[in-house]
Amino acid sequence: MKKLPSSFAIILASDVRLEVDQKFTMTGIFPGTIVIHKNPGESYGLLTLACYAEFYEADGPYSINIQVSIPDSEVLAHAEIPNSDEHKGTMTIAGKFQNIKIEKDGDYNLSITINGKSFTKSFGVELVETESE
């Protein structure tokens, strides 16, 4: 019987790694607005965005998609996870997108869609021009 998760938590960071002892290590956790540096004269900056997510009371195999997008607009990065194995209890998803092209300040979403239901973490982005030397 498939049962969608009842609640979830998503943490955004610069990097996430699965260690040999099945623990996850995260670095550069983003507590609020993400500041992205862009080179002088360029209209965009590049974002590396990692996520660690836990879904509680999950029951069943799932089809999972992850995407980074501008709300009600374009998808900037997308990944599809092959059908998952049976899950009972807490399901963990961790991954990373590299070199997401960010062209403007504003609000963005990281969404994890499980069997058609989206679980979303919104975050702000501020582009800052790197000072030339």
The contacts of residue 20 (CB under 8 Å, 6+ apart) are: none
Task: Assess if residue 59 is contained within a domain.
Answer: yes
Question: Which residues, listed in sequence order, are joined to residue 45 by a DSSP beta bridge?
Answer: 102
Task: Assess if residue 72 is contained within a domain.
Answer: yes
Cβ-contact 59, 110 below 8 angstroms? no
The structure's pTM equals 0.86
Residues 10-22, mean pLDDT to the nearest whole number: 93
Task: Assess if residue 1 is contained within a domain.
Answer: no
Task: Assess if residue 40 is contained within a domain.
Answer: yes
The domain tally of the chain equals 1
For 85-119, how does the pLDDT look when each residue is reduced to its tens digit (9 = 90+)?
Answer: 666 778 888 999 999 999 999 999 999 998 888 99
Structural domain for 72, as ranges: 7-129
Residue 104's CATH number: 2.60.40.1930
Task: Assess if residue 2 is contained within a domain.
Answer: no
The contacts of residue 125 (CB under 8 Å, 6+ apart) are: 33, 34, 35, 36, 47, 102, 105, 106, 107, 108
For 44-93, how does the pLDDT look when each residue is reduced to its tens digit (9 = 90+)?
Answer: 999 999 999 988 877 777 888 999 999 888 999 999 987 666 667 788 88
Instruction: Report strand pairing: 7-13 vs 45-59.
Output: antiparallel
Task: Assess if residue 97 is contained within a domain.
Answer: yes
Q: Using CB atoms within 10 A of its CB, is residue 114 exposed (0-12), middle (13-18) or buried (19+)?
A: buried
Average pLDDT over all residues of the chain: 88
Q: State the pLDDT at residue 63.
A: 82
